[in-house]
Amino acid sequence: MKSRILRLMPIALLAGLAIVGPTAPAHAVPVTFSTVGNFTGGDDPTGNSYLDVANGILITFQGVNLPPDNTVNASPVTGATFGSFDTTGTTATSLKSIAGGGFNLDIFQTSPDPGGPITFVGTLNGTLAIDASQAFVLFATPFVPQAIVGPLATVTYAIVEADRGVAGRADISPNGLSSVQGEIRASVVPEPSTMLMASLAVPALLLYRLRKGKASV
């Protein structure tokens, strides 16, 4: 009897998988998120702008928070813009040094599961003028995904900037907008009903084959 059960188990397992279908179907997961950026240097190191009045430098970070810009379909991975640096308020006519400081990018998620913030930490460097720029933000952990794990899905976010071949470097253009590019991955948590069907299918098929075998004897 025991050997008969062992012989039937592979057949039952395959049949059970056929009943419930593929274990990890690939399909798009709508992800809705928002971003906030904060500078830690300049004349007012508390908000979304870096301000140096004496040198005529103003850099403002515009976060992503309005539809449809803040919703993407991760299937299972997609590129996304996490916000932009705006330098249109800079008035310096020649390159001026940026005093330095940090920049923190916070990401909040509203769907498929609420979560966050997850934070990417960078430093602000370089020089800037109204018509020229060597300014940039260098993120400390580029390409390292940070995850928001919820009951519906696991979503990971990563910075994918690599300007001038430097991982994590996001160059800031003069007199305009410079976006921060990222990557979003999502994987759906299997539904409990699917897992239950798989667990019930195997013993049911085994029992059916054993009874059929006895009846044919």
Angle ∠(181,73,65) on CA atoms, nearest 5: 60
- Report, as an integer, the average pLDDT of 177-203: 71
Decide if pLDDT at 26 tops 80: no
- Report, as an integer, the average pLDDT of 31-50: 94
Decide if pLDDT at 202 tops 90: no
pLDDT value of residue 189:
79
Decide if pLDDT at 55 tops 70: yes
pTM here is 0.77
> Domain locations in the chain?
2-23+193-216, 29-189
Q: Which amino acid is at 11?
A: I
Q: Write the pLDDT tens digit of every residue in 109-134.
A: 999 999 999 999 999 999 999 999 99
